[in-house]
C-alpha cells in the first residue's frame, strides 16, 4: 500500500513540476513510445541536481553517463576501482524507472597511460594487454550484470578515410582488438546488448569500414546488436538524404540503429586558421565565430527548431530500425559545445536553455509526432 501511495505522490509532484517549469505536457518518452526510446546523457553533477533530475524523470526513459563511466573515472589508479558515482548513477536510474546504457568500455581517450604498461613501466605485449582488458571488462561489466540495457563496447575506432584510428589498442593488440572487446563484454554479461558507436558515419569511407566491421563480427558469430550513429550535428550537417541512406544501410545488416550523442550546433564551424595553438583571432572574426554570446536570435531559434524537426522526420521514417535517440545533455548551460573547438564560445545545441526552460523545439517535436504522415517522405 505504501508503495502505491508513494507512486501516486511522485506522479502528482511531477505534474506540478511540469506545470511550473514549462516542460512538455506530454513527456517525450511517451510521445515517441511507439517509435523509439528517448535518452539523455548526464554529467556527474546532474544526478545531484533536483531541478535537472525532475526534468529527466519526466521526459526520458534511458540515461547515459556523459563522462562518469569512462575508464579514467572508474579506474583512477592501477588496480583500484572507484564505483562510488557509477553505483549512485545505477541507483538513480533504478529508483526512477530508467534504463542505463554503459558508455564506454574501449576508447582512445580517457584511458590512464599506465593501463598499457607493466609493473616496470614497459609497454605491454599483445597477450598481456588482452588479459588486462578482459579482466577489466569482467570486473566492470560484471559488477552491473543484468542492470544495463547495453554497452558502447568500442567507441570511435575509425578515421574519416576508413582507416583504423591510431591508438595503443591498435598498436599493441592489432585490428582484432574490437572483436576481442565484444567477445569479453558478451562473456561478462551475455544478456546485455553490445554496440559500436562512432561519429561522422555519413562519410562514405568511414561508413564502409563500420559496415565491414559489423559483417566481420556477425560472420564470426560475435554478438553485436546495434550501431550508434553519433549525432553531433549542425544547422547544415549532415545532408538529410545521406543520413537517410546511412541509417538504411546499417539496418540492412540486421542490427539495430541508435542515434546517440545528439546535439545541434548553431555556430559557424571555424577553419583550421582559427584553431591553431598560435592562432590570433581579431575582434571581428571572434564575433563571427561567436555570434550569440548572450542568447539566440529569433531567426536562429527558428532555424534550430526546423533543423531538429527535419532530423526527426528522418528518424521517424526509420522507426522500425531505430531503437533509441539520445540527446547529449539536457541544458545549453553545460554542453561540451560551448567551448569546442574554440574556448569561450556560447552554443545552444540542446532542448533546454540555460535556465532549464524547454525551447520551442520541444513543442515542435510533439507536434511532429502528432502529424504522423508528415515524415513518410523526405
The torsion angles phi and psi of 200, rounded to 5 degrees, stand at: 65, 30
Query: Residue 184 has which C-alpha cell?
Result: 569479453
Residues in the chain: 378
Residue 8's SS3 state is helix
The torsion angles phi and psi of 279, rounded to 5 degrees, stand at: -65, 135
Nearest-10 crossing angle of helices 298-317, 240-251: 30
Sequence-separated (6 or more) residues with CB below 8 Å from residue 234: 264, 265, 266, 267, 269
Query: Residue 135 has which C-alpha cell?
Result: 579482466
- Catalytic status, residue 370: no
Residue with cell 550535428: 233
Question: Which of 59, 66, 156, 183 is the catalytic position?
Answer: 156
- The whole-angstrom separation of Cα 321 and Cα 250 is 9
Query: Residue 140 has which C-alpha cell?
Result: 566492470
Query: Residue 97 has which C-alpha cell?
Result: 524507472
Going from the C-alpha of 193 to that of each of 20, 54, 185, 232, 246, the distances in angstroms are 38, 28, 9, 23, 21
- Catalytic status, residue 95: no
CB 313 within 8 A of CB 368: yes
Cα–Cα–Cα angle for 271, 275, 277, nearest 5°? 150
CB-count exposure of residue 147 (10 Å: 0-12, 13-18, 19+): middle
Question: Which of 59, 179, 183, 261 is the catalytic position?
Answer: 261
What does the DSSP assignment read for 113-139?
GGGGB-TTSPBPPHHHHHHHHHHHHHH
First-to-last CA distance in the chain? 50
Query: Residue 282 has which C-alpha cell?
Result: 581579431
- The whole-angstrom separation of Cα 372 and Cα 216 is 37
Residue with cell 550501431: 227
Query: Residue 223 has which C-alpha cell?
Result: 554478438
The residues pairing with 131 across neighbouring beta strands, listed in sequence order, are none
Q: Which positions are catalytic? A: 156, 261
Amino acid at each position: 500500500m505504501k508503495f502505491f501511495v508513494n507512486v501516486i505522490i511522485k506522479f502528482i509532484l511531477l505534474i506540478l513540476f511540469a506545470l511550473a517549469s514549462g516542460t512538455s505536457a506530454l513527456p517525450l518518452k511517451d510521445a515517441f513510445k511507439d517509435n523509439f526510446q528517448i535518452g539523455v546523457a548526464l554529467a556527474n553533477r546532474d544526478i545531484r541536481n533536483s531541478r535537472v533530475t525532475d526534468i529527466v524523470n519526466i521526459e526520458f526513459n534511458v540515461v547515459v553517463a556523459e563522462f562518469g563511466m569512462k575508464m579514467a573515472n572508474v579506474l583512477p589508479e592501477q588496480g583500484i576501482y572507484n564505483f562510488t558515482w557509477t553505483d549512485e548513477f545505477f541507483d538513480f536510474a533504478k529508483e526512477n524507472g530508467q534504463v542505463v546504457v554503459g558508455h564506454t568500455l574501449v576508447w582512445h581517450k580517457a584511458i590512464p597511460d599506465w593501463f598499457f604498461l607493466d609493473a616496470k613501466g614497459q609497454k605491454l605485449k599483445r597477450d598481456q594487454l588482452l588479459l588486462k582488458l578482459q579482466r577489466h571488462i569482467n570486473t566492470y561489466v560484471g559488477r552491473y550484470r543484468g542492470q544495463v540495457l547495453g554497452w558502447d563496447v568500442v567507441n570511435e575506432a575509425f578515421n574519416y578515410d576508413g582507416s583504423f584510428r591510431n591508438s595503443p589498442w591498435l598498436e599493441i593488440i592489432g585490428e582484432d582488438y574490437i572483436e576481442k572487446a565484444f567477445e569479453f563484454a558478451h562473456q561478462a554479461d551475455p544478456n546485455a546488448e553490445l554496440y559500436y558507436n562512432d561519429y561522422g558515419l555519413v562519410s562514405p569511407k568511414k561508413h564502409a569500414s563500420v559496415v565491414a566491421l559489423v559483417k566481420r563480427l556477425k560472420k564470426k558469430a560475435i554478438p553485436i546488436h546495434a550501431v550508434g550513429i553519433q549525432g553531433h550535428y549542425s544547422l547544415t550537417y549532415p545532408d538529410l538524404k545521406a543520413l537517410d541512406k546511412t541509417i538504411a544501410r546499417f539496418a540492412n545488416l540486421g542490427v539495430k540503429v541508435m542515434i546517440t550523442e545528439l546535439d545541434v550546433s548553431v555556430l559557424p564551424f571555424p577553419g583550421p586558421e582559427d584553431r591553431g595553438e598560435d592562432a590570433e583571432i581579431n575582434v571581428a572574426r571572434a564575433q563571427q565565430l561567436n555570434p550569440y554570446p548572450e542568447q539566440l536570435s529569433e531567426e536562429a531559434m527558428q532555424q534550430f527548431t526546423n533543423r531538429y524537426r527535419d532530423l526527426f522526420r528522418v528518424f521517424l521514417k526509420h522507426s522500425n530500425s531505430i531503437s533509441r535517440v539520445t540527446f547529449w545533455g539536457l541544458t545549453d548551460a553545460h554542453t561540451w559545445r560551448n567551448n569546442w573547438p574554440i574556448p569561450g564560445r556560447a552554443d545552444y545545441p540542446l532542448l533546454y536553455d540555460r535556465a532549464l526552460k524547454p525551447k520551442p523545439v520541444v513543442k515542435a517535436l510533439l507536434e511532429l509526432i502528432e502529424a504522423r504522415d508528415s515524415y513518410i517522405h523526405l
